[in-house]
Amino acid sequence: APSPKYITGDRAAINEFIDKFDTFLFDCDGVLWSGDHVFEGVPETIRMLKAKGKRTVFVTNNSTKSRQDYLKKLSNLHIPCEKEDVFGSSYSAAVYISRILKQPPGKNKVFVIGEAGVEAELAAEGIPCIGGTDEKFRRDMVPEDFQGLADGSLLDPEVGVVLCGLDFHINYLKLSTALHYLKKGAVFLATNTDSTLPMHHSFFMGAGSCMIPLEYASGQKPLELGKPSQAMMDAVEGKFQLDRSRTCMIGDRLNTDIRFGIEGKLGGTLHVLTGVHKKEDWDKEDAVAVPAYYADELSDLGLVA
């Protein structure tokens, strides 16, 4: 049976918890804020950890925004942060493409299903892309499109990668175009595979739910670059020179955040109950990850000596 340690209100347990780690990886939505509403006491908690010499890194699966966008959001909400401390799934994907995949010239264009955050991070890594927010792809298919995709005349021969994230303008033309690139051998990547997007106390279609039609149609599974993918953990470790045993992942979602920390063999994981999953979810048959610690909310860490 799962037995995570409950640290809310327990000063000794909180001190012990904080002392165990040098670096805290924070999931953002559901831990720091919900939408545009920052949870009470969060800026103070991050400031307290920094004052104790802890490294704080913000690791989000939200690919619609760039690191720059996140930096702006964090600073608007008075959470202390530098650009280097933000690690998003769109950045993770861009770094993977430019530094690990290293497509040959002439095959290095990326067909994007996604929003501006993906495009911005690809551009920052010097990777050309098409699709994405281009209005040319935001329309219904006409008979010429079916013909042009089938005979390849509508396809850019330099596309060697299909990258799928959350796209608020997903449509038949984009999905069919991506399918044709995959059939021609493009590498299939996903920024993240969150099934849902929590908003306004409800759930909307997540990036994973935009990607699944493509997986189904192509018969291929994408390589995921967001939590819980260890490709992302490796990139985070490389960038911040982490000692995994002295690092803790803090999140609200068991199948992304907590699993990310456990599979990455981090020293600890903390589940806060302000987001998607509740403690009832640990026991569910499909629970994929049980945290080492849990707390009602992040600011509970503020009860520190």
Q: Judged by CB under 6 A, does residue 218 bind ligand PLP?
A: no
Q: Which of 29, 85, 119, 167 binds Ca ion (CB under 5 A)?
A: 29
User: Is 27 a binder of ligand PLP (CB under 6 A)?
Assistant: yes
Stretch that binds ligand PLP, among 40-48, 55-63, 213-221, 235-243 (CB under 6 A): 55-63
Q: Which is nearer to ligand PLP, 136 or 200 (CB)?
A: 200
Contact 214/164 with Cβ under 8 angstroms?
yes
Based on the shown chain and the rule CB under 6 A, indicate whether residue 92 belongs to the binding site for ligand PLP.
no
Query: Which residues are identified as catalytic?
Result: 27, 29
Per the CB < 8 A criterion, the answer to whether 288 and 263 are in contact is no
90 in contact with ligand PLP (CB under 6 A) = no
Place of tokens 């982490």: 242
Binders of ligand PLP: how many residues, by CB under 6 A? 12
Interaction of residue 64 with ligand PLP, rule CB under 6 A: yes
Which of Ca ion, ligand PLP, none has residue 166 at its interface (CB below 5 to 8 Å by kind)? ligand PLP
Distance CA 249, CA 66 (A): 21
In whole angstroms, give the CA distance from residue 253 to residue 272.
9
27 forms part of the interface with Ca ion (CB under 5 A): yes
Q: Is 90 helix (H, G, I), strand (E, B) or coil?
A: helix
Among 85, 115, 194, 252, binds Ca ion (CB under 5 A): 252
Q: Which does 289 bind (CB under 5 to 8 A by kind): ligand PLP, Ca ion, none?
A: none
Interacting residue with ligand PLP among 197, 248, 250, 292 (CB under 6 A): 197
Question: What are the E-state strand segments in 84-181?
Answer: 86-88, 109-113, 129-131, 159-164
Smallest gap from residue 61 Cβ to Ca ion (A)? 7
Cis amide bond preceding 228, omega within 30: yes
Q: How many residues does the chain have?
A: 305
User: How many residues form the binding site for Ca ion (CB under 5 A)?
Assistant: 4
Specify whether the CB–CB gap between 62 and 88 falls below 8 A.
yes
- Selected from 56, 60, 90, 218, the binder of ligand PLP by CB under 6 A is 60
Q: Taking Cα atoms as reference points, which of 69, 63, 72, 110 lies closest to residue 90?
A: 63
Q: CB of 253: closest distance to Ca ion in angstroms? A: 5
Cα dist. 300→28, 40, 64, 294, 303 in Å?
16, 10, 30, 10, 6
Strand bridging mode 223-224 / 33-34: unpaired
Q: Which is nearer to Ca ion, 30 or 160 (CB)?
A: 30
Does position 30 bind ligand PLP by CB under 6 A? Answer: yes
Interaction site with ligand PLP (CB under 6 A)? 27-30, 60-62, 64, 166, 194, 197, 207
